[in-house]
Amino acid sequence: MVEESEFDYIIVGAGSAGCVLANRLVRDGRFSVALVERGRMDVNRWIHIPATYFKAHQSNDIDAVLSEPDETISGKRFAVPQGRVVGGGSSVNAMIYMRGQADDYDDWENLHGCDGWGYKDVLPVFVRQEKNVHLGTPFHGQDGALVVASPEYKHPVNEIALDAALSAGLGWNDDFNGKTQAGAGWYQATAYAGRRQSAATCFLKPIVSHQQLTILTDTIAGKIRFEGRRATALEVTSGGEERVVRARKEIILTAGSFHSPKLLMLSGIGPGAELNRHGIAPVHDAPEVGANYQDHVGTPVTYRLKENIGYQNADRGLAALKNGIDYFVFRRGLLTSNLLAAGACVDTDGDGRPDVQMNFAPFAPGAPGEGPLSCHSFHVHPMTMRPKSRGRLMLASTDPEDPPKFEAQVLQTEDDLDTLRRGVRLAREICEQPQLKEILSEVIWPGPDVSTTVGSNTLDDAIRDQARTIYHPAGTCRMGTDDQAVVDIRLKVNGVEGLRVADCSVMPMLVSGNTNAPTMMIADRGADFILEDA
């Protein structure tokens, strides 16, 4: 006999969104909550030391969804790593805290019909979530659960890079989440006092022992059951054993832009032809489930450093010993850093809004899917902020453990390619400033055989070869008020009852910046709607 249990709410996915949502529903005090997570608890020590997240990437706490060969990037497969651990992306990301532009959310409302999701509506949610150590009103909160802080460690090479950015004509920005996003400066991050401040740490740990919360880790969500058109239960597998978890009120998907649409399709909500192809009985024909896939794409411009002053070998020998003593004894130094502590947001097309984000750091990423280069190096990483290219997810099989079939199409549009061209040229200009020329040696990418002049075909080919994810997949369960939207503006899945999606997959358009903060905001607003409807 299959074991059954029953709760008021079932949350599928204990990533950034799931942790926030569980916190809100449990703290309300009226409801029992099951939080279902395919990974384990965040017990990996490398997760919690800010600078060692790259080691977590080498563990089972992260896996990757691999696209079909993508002709827009020279036929390569586009690999997008995903957190497979409690805390999700917030447990394995680079911790940059950036919300995007006010115009992004106004566009959601004015261009995509998402009434009530304008900047005036979402800013109070960001503010109430925050416990900002260094910044305050009107753009920041200091009484929330999410700890956000300015860098405790500032690498000298990044100091030089920021000076060079100013010499190249960029303005200074003290707060990328403030009045304006444009300029160069130090990022705030979800790291403080030498520890990562993940959604698991800030939202889930305070309620982890609450009697109204049940956390089911290492548990695969297989299919949502419906009675008529109402979602009533979730079929799961854990340790090879099947189980049914019933929901008295609602099931909420917070499994991210790959796994939320996949579970919808496995459960009979998706494009009719796609469901029929896999023999899945349709509950609701929803053509846009899995569509509208978008991601920020980057191409890091890299140089060798003249002297051994970068991150190379910082985890080995005497350098590792020094860094370890600094961290474990004094809670200071390199290990307190998120490694990507400095950057810029730049308007390269003259429309008044930054369209290229740049990260600065004293190491050089290798080819897409590979680790850093084994030399002391520096990179400026330009990336698209509002990509126009769109991909699509489909089912690879009816096995819930299989990743979806994935057509990325990440440089599908000329606009996105042109944005990266401008970003590469600006990155080279920054690196040619006197401050950086003094410490940089030869360029690694784009190399001496690649021309960056306007009209260069060699630059286009180099960009396609170098293009990689910035780990911000979004949009595959699009929110809207039109007939094709997957969820409505209260995050309810259209065509059925008792089912919502409350993660980054509902974004109608990707925000201009990192996605962890907006994902937590979406979940917090979702909790408002759920509690209002309870």
446 prior amide bond cis, ω within 30: yes
At residue 3, the pLDDT reads: 87
3-state SS assignment for residue 59: coil
Query: What is the number of alpha carbons within 13 Å of residue 243 lying toward its C-beta?
Result: 19
Q: Which residues contact 120 (CB under 8 A, 6 or more apart)?
A: none
Q: What is the DSSP letter of 49?
A: S
E strand residue ranges, 37-128:
62-66, 79-83
Q: Hey, what domains does the chain have and what are their CATH numbers?
A: 1-68+80-97+193-295+473-534 (3.50.50.60), 152-186+297-384+412-466 (3.30.410.40)
State yes or no: pLDDT of 171 exceeds 70.
Answer: yes
At residue 1, the pLDDT reads: 65
36/363 Cα distance (integer angstroms): 37
Q: Which has the closest alpha carbon to 187: 320, 254, 97?
A: 97
Q: Which residues contact 417 (CB under 8 A, 6 or more apart)?
A: 411, 460, 463
At residue 503, the pLDDT reads: 98
At residue 448, the pLDDT reads: 87
At residue 98, the pLDDT reads: 98
**Cα dist from 61 to 57, 70, 79, 84, 201, whole Å:** 7, 26, 16, 5, 16
Q: What is the CA radius of gyration of the chain?
A: 22
For residues 4-17, average pLDDT? 97
At residue 370, the pLDDT reads: 84
State yes or no: pLDDT of 366 exceeds 70.
Answer: yes
For residues 60-78, average pLDDT? 95
At residue 254, the pLDDT reads: 98
Q: Residues 323-344: pLDDT tens digits?
A: 999 999 999 999 999 999 999 9
Query: HEC states along 322-368?
Result: HHHHHHHHHCCCHHHCCCCCEEEEECCCCCCCCCEEEEEECCCECCC
Please report where in the chains the tokens 């090479």 appear, as a residue.
157
Q: Which has the closest alpha carbon to 47: 55, 38, 35?
A: 55
State yes or no: pLDDT of 137 exceeds 90.
Answer: yes
Q: Residues 492-509: pLDDT tens digits?
A: 999 999 999 999 999 999
Query: What is the number of alpha carbons within 13 Å of residue 309 lying toward its C-beta?
Result: 16
Using a 10 angstrom Cβ sphere, with 0-12 exposed, 13-18 middle and 19 or more buried, the burial of residue 3 is exposed
Confidence of residue 195 (pLDDT cuts 50, 70, 90): very high
For 276, other C-beta atoms within 10 Å of its C-beta total 12
State yes or no: pLDDT of 457 exceeds 90.
Answer: no
At residue 454, the pLDDT reads: 81
**Cα dist from 268 to 4, 212, 402, 492, whole Å:** 22, 30, 17, 16
For 371, other C-beta atoms within 10 Å of its C-beta total 12
Over pLDDT 90: what percentage of the chain?
94
State yes or no: pLDDT of 10 exceeds 80.
Answer: yes
88/219 Cα distance (integer angstroms): 14
The catalytic position among 140, 284, 381, 472 is 472
Query: Strands 230-238 and 219-227, how do they pair?
Result: antiparallel
Q: Residues 87-106: pLDDT tens digits?
A: 999 999 999 999 999 999 99
Active site residue 472: yes
Over pLDDT 70: what percentage of the chain?
100
At residue 183, the pLDDT reads: 98
What average pLDDT is seen over the chain?
Answer: 96
Confidence of residue 453 (pLDDT cuts 50, 70, 90): confident
36/8 Cα distance (integer angstroms): 14
State yes or no: pLDDT of 236 exceeds 90.
Answer: yes
Q: Residues 107-131: pLDDT tens digits?
A: 999 999 999 999 999 999 999 999 9
